[in-house]
Amino acid sequence: MPTFDIVSKFDFSEIDNSVQNLKREITQRYDFKASKSEIGVDENAIQITTDDEYKLNQIHEMLKVQVTKRGIDAKILDMGKIENAAGQSVRQSIGLKKGIDRDLSKEIIKIVKDSKIKVQISIQGEELRINGKKRDDLQEVIALLKEKEFNLPLQFVNFRD
């Protein structure tokens, strides 16, 4: 019986490379010459501290470009609340979204059930498994979900006959 999984994941090393490239770009840009901009990254978030909100917005745009260059959808970036740091500087933590949460899983299940395609869907942790009798049904589900716009990038993996 053919199956495939719907997941939302990314390669952390690519995020780390994007942040390193961003740091290099900031040191070379003229508008950041005298600024004190710091960027750190860990498994779940990217922390940015800079002089003002204008520079923070510039860093956001550069980060999105760097992440996209690395083949990762910028939808994984969850922009956190902007906080005031020492003096006039600002700080922000940008979360990295991975895995499909319960609400999005239920939304995807509803979309597939409403389409009347003859497949079974099961939630397995932070991913969904789709089973069907025919390979064409599974390809139809993939096409259906690619048309929809979600707030998270989805990948279709482990396609097996």
Q: Write the CATH number for 137.
A: 3.30.70.860
How many independent structural domains does the chain possess? Answer: 2
Percent of the chain with pLDDT over 90: 39
Say if residues 9 and 152 touch (Cβ distance below 8 Å).
no
Query: Is 51 in the same domain as 122?
Result: no
Task: Please give the biggest Cα pair distance in the chain.
Answer: 63
pLDDT given for residue 1 in this prediction: 83
Confidence grade of residue 15 (pLDDT, cut at 50, 70, 90)? very high
Nearest to 53 by CA among 85, 15, 90: 90
Look-up: residue for tokens 């940008």? 94
Confidence of residue 66 (pLDDT cuts 50, 70, 90): very high
Average pLDDT over residues 100-104: 88
Q: Judge if 42 and 31 occupy the same domain.
A: yes
Sign of CA dihedral 94, 97, 101, 107: positive
Domain extent for 113? 3-8+99-160
Q: Say yes or no: 153 and 125 in one domain.
A: yes
Q: Are residues 151 and 89 in the same domain?
A: no
Structure tokens at 60: 């956001």
Q: Is the pLDDT of residue 21 over 90?
A: yes
Shared domain for 44 and 82, answered yes or no, is yes
